[in-house]
């Protein structure tokens, strides 16, 4: 496995670059080091390489009015881009949790009603694979009050509006 190191003061960080073709499982890393005086040290580290996943989320509408119908859309993919379609995601929203099945394309849609109060609300989707790997993605819903509708003050355009009053007009002569 290719490894790159970075140094920050006396701390070293190692980055192990893997590809999707690497076998998943347990790896044992043996670290040998030598200081400036020639003293050697050896350490062991065991780690598990697991599959990665991505969850992509969107809201329709992106910003909603309070108490409006909203749908959380999402898709779950494996790190190699392949579809995850054999399971479900847990949706955490407004203090509630619901499980939603993934369709054949790895997608889901979760309709709900926006909160009654203005504000920003976090929604999240969590996927757990058969090996217990957990991935979560969040999105913010912004709920706003609807803009007030201007009152009709009697003037202006009346197309499409009905009126409850009528006038009868008469023009001409009444002479015999």
Sole residue written with tokens 């912004």: 142
Banded model confidence at residue 167, pLDDT cuts 50, 70, 90:
very low
pLDDT per residue as tens digits for the range 48-87: 877 789 999 999 998 889 999 999 999 999 988 899 877 8
136, two tokens: 């979560």
- Select from 176, 83, 59, 68 the least CA-distant residue to 115: 68
Model pTM score? 0.64
Average pLDDT of the residues in 84-93: 91
Q: In whole angstroms, what is the distance from residue 33 CA to residue 26 CA? A: 23
Cα–Cα dist 106/110, whole Å: 14
The Cα–Cα gap between 153 and 29 comes to: 79
- The pLDDT, as a whole number, for residue 132 is 85
Say yes or no to pLDDT of 133 above 50: yes
| pLDDT score recorded for residue 11 | 81
Distance CA 132, CA 126 (A): 12
Q: How far is CA 42 from the centre of its chain?
A: 43
């Amino acid at each position: 496995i290719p490894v790159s190191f970075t140094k920050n003061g006396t701390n070293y960080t190692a980055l192990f670059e893997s590809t999707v073709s690497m076998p998943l499982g347990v790896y044992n890393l043996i670290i040998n080091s030598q200081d400036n005086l020639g003293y050697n040290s050896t350490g062991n580290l065991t780690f598990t390489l697991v599959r990665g996943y991505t969850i992509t989320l969107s809201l329709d509408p992106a910003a909603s009015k309070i108490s409006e119908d909203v749908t959380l859309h999402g898709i779950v993919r494996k790190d190699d881009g392949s579809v995850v379609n054999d399971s479900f995601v847990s949706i955490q929203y407004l203090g509630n949790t619901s499980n939603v099945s993934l369709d054949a394309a790895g997608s889901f849609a979760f309709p709900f009603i926006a909160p009654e109060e203005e504000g920003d609300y976090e929604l999240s989707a969590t996927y757990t694979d058969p090996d217990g790997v957990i991935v979560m993605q969040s999105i913010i819903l912004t709920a706003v009050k609807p803009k007030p509708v201007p009152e009709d003050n009697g003037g202006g355009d009346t197309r499409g509006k009905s009126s409850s009053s009528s006038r009868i007009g008469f023009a001409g002569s009444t002479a015999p």
